[in-house]
A and B are shown apart, each in its own frame.
Chain A
Amino acid sequence: MANQKIRNFCIIAHIDHGKSTLADRILEKTETVAVRDMEDQLLDNMDIERERGITIKARAVRLKYTAKDGEEYIFNLIDTPGHVDFNYEVSRSLVACEGAILVVDASQGIEAQTLANTYLAIENDLEVVPVVNKIDLPSADPERVCNEVENVIGIPAMDAPRISAKMGINIDEVLERIVTDIPAPSGDTEKPLKALIFDSYYDSYKGVIIYVRIKEGRVKTGDNIRLMATGAVFTVVEAGFMDADKLVNNGSLEAGEVGYISASIKSIGDTQVGDTVTNNDNPCDEALEGYRKVNPMVFSGIYPADGAKYGDLRDALEKLQLNDASLSFEPETSIALGFGFRCGFLGLLHMEIIQERLEREYNLDLITTAPSVIYKVTLTSGEVQYIDNPTNYPDPALIQTAEEPMVKADILTPSEFVGNIMELCQDRRGIFKDMQYLDDTRVNLHYELPLNEIVYDFFDVLKSRTRGYASFDYEMLGYVPSKLVKLDILLNGDIVDALSFIIHADKAYGRARKIAEKLKENIPRQLFEVPIQAAIGGKVIARETVKAMRKDVLAKCYGGDITRKKKLLEKQKEGKKRMRQLGTVEVPQEAFMSVLKLDS
């Protein structure tokens, strides 16, 4: 029988609703972390997480709590990301838990991502414990928010703890609810080992560390374990749990517990998240259900700004992939950008995060191509191709049908912005499904949208048109036939492959014009005039010209001092390296980036 004093739970919250702050308070209250060591957002230990105030990687930590019944409980808190792009991280964590604390902001109410994640938790049979946070704010309206939770999600919420994680109000009540409302784990410690891998990461000293939830049986140091999907066998070196800031080798783990195993595993490829760990000498009958494999939805080419850094970029991507199995990449070549990688991401935020980590943690200067989704193209020959790189888009004459991915989108918004949002969705080729009032002032809008309309800047525009109030979540629906065209950009008559993209025919003209304008702004005047053209097939649909420069001269070279002139020449030589030479045209990195942000 699994330990009845264990509670495994996660926290679900919309960004900024206070998930990490509540986690911090819980760590403090349970004295897992001494107050003097306390840092804000303790579990978000990547710089980028702290700066953006988001959680990217799930983490687990073990706490001890003495409840009002006088008993000591073990809490395993699994911190999860809130953003839609990291849903897969959320669903992984959920399988390791029996309960979830749903944190809702007392003035803002439920948001789209909260909704999506809560439904995920309910689907996974988790007990959901609602908590209303930020009651200290003047605009707080916990009553309304509790009603909203009941109406929208359909779980009792009127007695939800009303807390302020920031001010430390009513945290005890949350801790008690964890004890009373969240069930203890089930599972038989005497059965053969059956454990779910819910995460893994690479440690340069210990090799791959796997995070597991033990469902049945036990595991201890020296055991031979088998990872059922890959069949790989390892000997356990350490088994234990996660303190707030370190791994604690306990020597063993048993049913109901959440912890880590290290077993000198060299390759992250051996440890698929969702795989089942069992004992090699006394294996269980069948593996746990595991996870759906997550497929990247957004693709983009990533190139080093300096071609010589290609090897560094590869190393960096490999290292990032060790801790982020959802990142995919393969080498690709662009005439314009040289050698780089086609990378697949779960969404736009994921893409941004990866780029930022590459630049910051690995000190790389990158050029990124416009994000693309995967298009499904059926050729006249009957062959079906999936295209994630516009360069590979087949000749239109060979295409029988082209299809693009659609998503089902939930947009939660104050009702005053409904008009703005409908206009935006209309503009993005959205199909209105229905609209549901959450209460008098808030609305849930359902739309079907083409994924390629939201991968650029949809979220940014949505935010700006709703003064930041609307929230948005989406899930894949499938493919629908679409009038797609490949838009090429030509500089000085030559196609720049890195700037090509696939777009709906009706939107090609407007986009083409904007891109041409952006490029004109961002390509500096140079020795020769640079014609910019946007074309579909051979037909030019937009054009601009970067006029030739008129003045670039060192008028005076005084007293025979030519050092300045030479320095200038050296500088030009250097500057040239930072530009991409496309025929006679020099294109700065910014120009490639500028076309990614057309509305700003």
Chain B
Amino acid sequence: MLAAGRFVLTRLAAVVGVALFVSFVTFFLLRVSRDPVDVVGAARSLDVSSPSVRSELAAELGTDRPLIVQYGDWLSNAVRGELGTSYLDSTDDVAEGIGRALPVNLELVILAQLIALAASIPLGLWAGAREGRWPDKVVTFVATAFVSYPGFALALVLIMVFAVQLDLFPATAAAYVSFFDNPLDNLRQCFLPALSLAVPMIGVYTRVLRSDVAATLREDFIVTARSKGLRSAAILTRHAFRPSSLSLIPMVGLQFGALLGGSILIERLFAFPSGLGTSLTAAAVTADVPVLLGVSTTIAVGFAVVTLIADLVARLADPRIAHG
């Protein structure tokens, strides 16, 4: 128990480290390369060539103080959940904006994980149980192809086939409705985006599960189960699946990162009206530091926490890790 507490504490330190690193790098990169006075001045169509306007604006934004003090300020506010307001629109609260955008990305990530697991668990079991024979070869080949195909490129093919040709799903999610308002429409809008995110994951998970299942099936306790006369299907699902899922669980946790990153692209591609990607890309183009800083740091912290949870689950599933 003590070991587990220590484990959580060191990992929490890592979460803090990552949050500091990401915000620090983002802050200094952006602030050294561009003067916020120019960005805000242009947004308010002020004459930024006049020194008095510049100094007034710098005083208002607080950019006349040393950079490290400004970073410290941002940090102490961020710890309290205050991420400031957008440079372009001072009524636009960054934290509120994230609160509006995040559900879209979370929904896509969760749907994608569900689709990926629903497809890869049967495929991985099937291929692993027939190691070296044709089902294994076919599944492995397809899985490798899936891993190689970037989700955003796949999304275009899916749009072309299922939206343009067959007209089964909408081609964009511009008319996005929340799941809680209209679950059916929401799922129709989110299916193609989630599927494009899920396909590479199907490849990753299937490959991992397949090789673990194949290895498990060579172990003594499986031979015992077989000699007791258990059917292959029962052996697979009751005896082989759990010990074979030990690499899969941390993998699923790790892929939250890749998926959230991917959802930023996919969400832009399907023209969701709001989302972290929409905020990030717009802020990147206009050098809107508070938005970029807030969104990047939120994502970084979110990930580090999800990975930590995934590790904890993996320890619960496999006591050998905790005691090893």
Do A and B form a real pair?
no
Residues of A within 8 A of B (CB): none
